[in-house]
């Protein structure tokens, strides 16, 4: 298939990676201008607070409840809902529920190489 030929994308066949010790990610779409990743976070997992210089991200929950801290506010996002994170906004996601959370992360442009940690005490 050529790049311009549409075809179904399945997480089971997508490139897989682990992060945060126990979390999973599947790269569903990887292009120079767009990234779509399906992620899975077991209960009690989190990522470090960070920001992206260029990438705008959209977190869309498929299953469970995703906690998101952004701009000194906390949000809980449930199934069939999402939250947009603008560039430069310090944020982190975590799962403080008792169930697995699965969600999509859409980044434009892709966030790989565009992530920098933010001091936990620093204002956003």
Q: What pLDDT score was predicted for residue 112?
A: 86
Q: What pLDDT score was predicted for residue 121?
A: 56
Rounded to two decimals, what is the model's pTM? 0.90
What are the chain's domains? Answer: 25-117 (2.60.120.10)
Q: pLDDT digits over 92-117, tens only?
A: 999 999 999 999 999 999 998 899 99
Average predicted confidence (pLDDT) for the chain? 92
Q: pLDDT digits over 22-57, tens only?
A: 999 999 999 999 999 999 999 999 999 999 999 999
Within 1-124, strands assigned E span 16-19, 23-30, 35-41, 50-52, 56-63, 66-70, 73-77, 81-85, 91-94, 101-108, 115-117
């Amino acid at each position: 298939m050529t790049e311009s030929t549409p075809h179904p994308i399945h997480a089971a066949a997508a490139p897989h990676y682990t992060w945060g010790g126990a979390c999973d990610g599947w790269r569903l779409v990887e292009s120079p201008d767009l990234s779509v990743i399906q992620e899975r976070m077991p209960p009690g997992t989190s990522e470090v607070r960070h920001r992206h210089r260029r990438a705008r991200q959209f977190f869309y929950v498929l299953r469970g409840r995703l906690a998101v801290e952004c701009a000194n506010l906390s949000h809980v996002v449930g199934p069939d809902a999402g939250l947009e994170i603008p560039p430069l906004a310090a944020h982190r996601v975590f799962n403080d529920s008792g169930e697995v959370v699965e969600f999509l992360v859409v980044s434009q442009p892709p966030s790989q190489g565009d992530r920098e940690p933010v001091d936990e005490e620093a204002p956003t």
